Structure formats: structure tokens, C-alpha cells
């Protein structure tokens, strides 16, 4: 270890003109590498931030689309509710007429039953009349 100087636990060789050049080159290399490292870290962080910004922009666009879709669905639901109210009101207005139609249908059913019974009675009367006519012809 002859000729070496120890300063705060760091061994250094005595400086001469060739060592100064080496130290200066080393310092320049360290400065260049440090700068390159900081630039690389800066580019990395910038890329991460750009990616995050792109993610947020995508989320914002998706939220806008979802908002528009839900607004359209709300408008459709409102329109359907309005249409349902109109249909309900029209049905309520038609209800007396529908009841009259039902009453007429029941009356027609009763009338058809009466016609069937009358037809059966007429058929029996025709049969009896035919029998009586036949009996009268035989008696003559």
C-alpha cells in the first residue's frame, strides 16, 4: 500500500497528470451514465403516465357511451310509460262498449238456445202433424 492515500475510508492513489485524466474521464462517464439513467427513468415514467392517461381517456369514453345508452333507455322507458298510460285510458274509455259487446254475446247465446229449442219443438210438431195427416188419410 505504499504511495496510497486513505481519505475517509476510500483508498485513492496519489494524483498525477495521468490519474487526473482517468479521474476526469471516469467522472465524465459517471455523469453521462447518470444522465442517461435519469433520461431512461424519465422516458419510462413518461410512458407509464401516457399509458395511464390513455386508460383514463378510454374509461371516460366508455362512461360517456354508458351515460348516453342509459339516457336513451330512460327516454325509451318514459315513452313506454306514456304509451301505457294512453292505452290504459283508451281501454277505460272502451270498457263500457266492451261490456255491451259481452252482454250482446250472452243475449245472442240465449237467443240461439231459444232458436234451437223452438226448432226442436217445430220438428216435433212437424212429426206429429205428419203422423196425424197419415192417420187421417188412412181413415178416409
| CB 13, CB 3: distance < 8 Å | yes
- Residues 6 or more apart whose Cβ sits within 8 Å of residue 5: 11, 12, 13, 14
What does the block give as the cell for 5? 492515500
| CB 62, CB 70: distance < 8 Å | no
The pLDDT assigned to 20 comes to 67
Confidence of residue 135 (pLDDT cuts 50, 70, 90): confident
Instruction: Read off the pLDDT of residues 101-115 as tens digits, 9 standing for 90 and up.
Output: 999 999 999 999 999
Instruction: Read off the pLDDT of residues 8-66 as tens digits, 9 standing for 90 and up.
Output: 444 555 454 556 678 899 999 999 999 999 999 999 999 999 999 999 999 999 999 99
CA dist list (Å): 100 to 24, 91, 94, 106:
112, 14, 10, 10
- Rg of the chain over Cα atoms, rounded to whole angstroms, equals 55
The pLDDT assigned to 137 comes to 87
Instruction: Read off the pLDDT of residues 116-129 as tens digits, 9 standing for 90 and up.
Output: 999 999 999 999 99
Please tell me what DSSP assigns to residue 1: -
Amino acid at each position: 500500500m505504499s504511495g496510497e492515500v486513505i481519505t475517509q475510508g476510500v483508498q485513492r492513489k496519489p494524483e498525477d497528470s495521468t490519474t487526473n485524466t482517468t479521474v476526469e474521464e471516469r467522472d465524465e462517464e459517471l455523469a453521462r451514465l447518470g444522465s442517461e439513467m435519469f433520461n431512461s427513468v424519465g422516458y419510462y415514467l413518461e410512458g407509464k403516465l401516457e399509458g395511464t392517461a390513455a386508460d383514463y381517456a378510454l374509461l371516460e369514453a366508455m362512461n360517456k357511451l354508458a351515460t348516453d345508452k342509459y339516457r336513451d333507455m330512460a327516454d325509451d322507458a318514459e315513452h313506454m310509460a306514456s304509451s301505457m298510460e294512453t292505452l290504459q285510458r283508451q281501454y277505460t274509455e272502451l270498457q263500457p262498449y266492451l261490456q255491451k259487446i259481452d252482454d250482446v254475446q250472452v243475449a245472442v247465446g240465449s237467443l240461439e238456445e231459444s232458436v234451437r229449442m223452438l226448432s226442436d219443438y217445430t220438428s216435433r210438431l212437424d212429426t206429429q202433424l205428419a203422423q196425424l195427416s197419415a192417420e187421417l188419410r188412412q181413415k178416409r
